[in-house]
Amino acid sequence: MRPPLVRLINAIGPIWKAIRVGYPSIDPDVLLKKAMRKTGLDDLGTEDYKEALSVLIQSINESNNFNHTGQFITSSLLYNSFENRLRLTETFKQNPEINNEKIERPIFILGLPRTGTTLLHYLLDQDDNHRSAKTWEAFHPHPYPKKESYTKDRRIRRTRWELFLFWNLIPNIKVIHDFDESTAQECIVFMSHTFISFALSTQLYIPRYMKWLQKADLGKLYAEHKKMLQYYQFGGVKSKRWLLKAPAHLYCVEAILSAYPDACIIQTHRDPLKAVASSCSLNYALAQVTVDDLSLDDVGVLHRDTLSDWLKMNVVQRQKLTHKSDQFYDLSFSDFVSDPISEIKKIYRHFEFEFDDALASKMNNFMEENPSGKHGKHIYSIEQFGLDRARDTPLFTEYIDYFKDKLK
């Protein structure tokens, strides 16, 4: 049975649509005009976003079976991207010195979804030497956060309310992925204004767009990514190094090192089919609220094909970058979940970061307060999404062969 809030929106949706007063549109022209009226701005910056937006809208239209809840969610996501882009463009125009901010030795966590990247992200975020983008500032990046108001910014309360609605739309999501307004957030969220972001394809079932993302201009994307880090720390909220995480970084390691030549990259490894099934579970939990007939098998095929492509590209790029092996640390999922602190100590030694008993205590306290299964057990299977180990394993052969030592 649908959650009460979803049933309510879908029930009043036909009436809401009929009277045409405030019914959420997914027409980009309508949403852009609305964002321009609210902000008083009309400059979206460079036109790099146009191809991405065009493909996104095509994909949305192809999947145009949204229910009224899906219409509401999609409209909100697109509108926020336009508003953020307008405000960010204006801020960069008014403050060109943002580009002088130094970004040194950022940490990138990458790996298939559901391979321990979130726990690792949260644990490394306990280190005061690390600066991450919190959920509230990733959702609402404007204005750039200031040191004196960082812990009491009005956007924290706003994001808490938005997440309250989100939890009521998808009550079981915390079982799969637990976060709140103040936890470290993925890069895909604060890159939504580029329209080249997996944030949308994580929440919606839009195959054309998800496949197109792999063909995007990664050079321009990571140049924009760097600008966002400079923007976030411009107001004085900074530390020794940035802490960043997103599964999609997997197929972008060359672009990452081009934008950040001194980056420290941690790649997690797990049985790829288990990781794909878990990723399917997350996407299905999010996307099924927006439509009434989403197929488990369709989600399985999309994620199997997309993530196997990511891994193939990752292997090719890692082979080219063996001369930079000191900038990579490969982490076995099984080793990490067995003894997280010991594995993190190894990571710190590899990159020559500072680690002491006080930091170990903070990390242990975090794990005690947030044990696995805190909100219930995440139950899923390969077969649930139409995946078959014998048939599908060959798609991951290159990855399995190259990283076999981490996949024992």
CB count, 10 Å around CB of 90? 17
In the predicted structure, residue 306 carries a pLDDT above the cut 70: yes
119-123, 167-171, 195-199 — most confident range: 119-123
Collapsing DSSP to helix, strand or coil, 121 comes out as: helix
How many Å apart are CA 304 and CA 106, to the nearest integer? 30
Average pLDDT over residues 59-75: 87
Name the H helices within 352-393.
357-369, 389-392
User: What share of the chain has pLDDT > 90, as a percent?
Assistant: 76
Quick: pLDDT tens for 1-32: 778 888 888 888 888 888 877 788 999 999 99
Place of tokens 């996501």: 77
Phi–psi pair at 261, nearest 5 degrees: -60, -25
User: What share of the chain has pLDDT > 70, as a percent?
Assistant: 99
153 contacts 135 by C-beta, under 8 angstroms:
no
Q: Is 34 exposed, middle or buried (0-12, 13-18, 19+ CB in 10 A)?
A: middle
User: What domains sit in the chain, N to C, each tagged with a CATH number?
Assistant: 4-406 (3.40.50.300)
How many Å apart are CA 408 and CA 404, to the nearest integer? 7
Average pLDDT over residues 106-114: 93
DSSP string, 42-93: ----STTHHHHHHHHHHHHHHT--B-HHHHHHHHHHHHHHHHHHHHHHHHHH
> Which 8-state DSSP code applies to residue 143?
S
In the predicted structure, residue 198 carries a pLDDT above the cut 80: yes
Mean pLDDT of all residues in the chain?
93
- Nearest to residue 290, comparing CAs of 206, 346, 367? 206
How many Å apart are CA 89 and CA 117, to the nearest integer? 31
Quick: pLDDT tens for 235-271: 999 999 999 999 999 999 999 999 999 999 999 999 9
> Which 8-state DSSP code applies to residue 144?
P
Which pLDDT value is given to residue 210? 92
In the predicted structure, residue 226 carries a pLDDT above the cut 90: yes
Quick: pLDDT tens for 345-374: 999 999 999 999 999 999 999 999 988 767
**What's the whole-model pTM score?**
0.95
CB count, 10 Å around CB of 186? 26
Collapsing DSSP to helix, strand or coil, 264 comes out as: strand
Average pLDDT over residues 158-163: 94
The radius of gyration of the chain from alpha carbons, rounded to an integer in Å, stands at 21
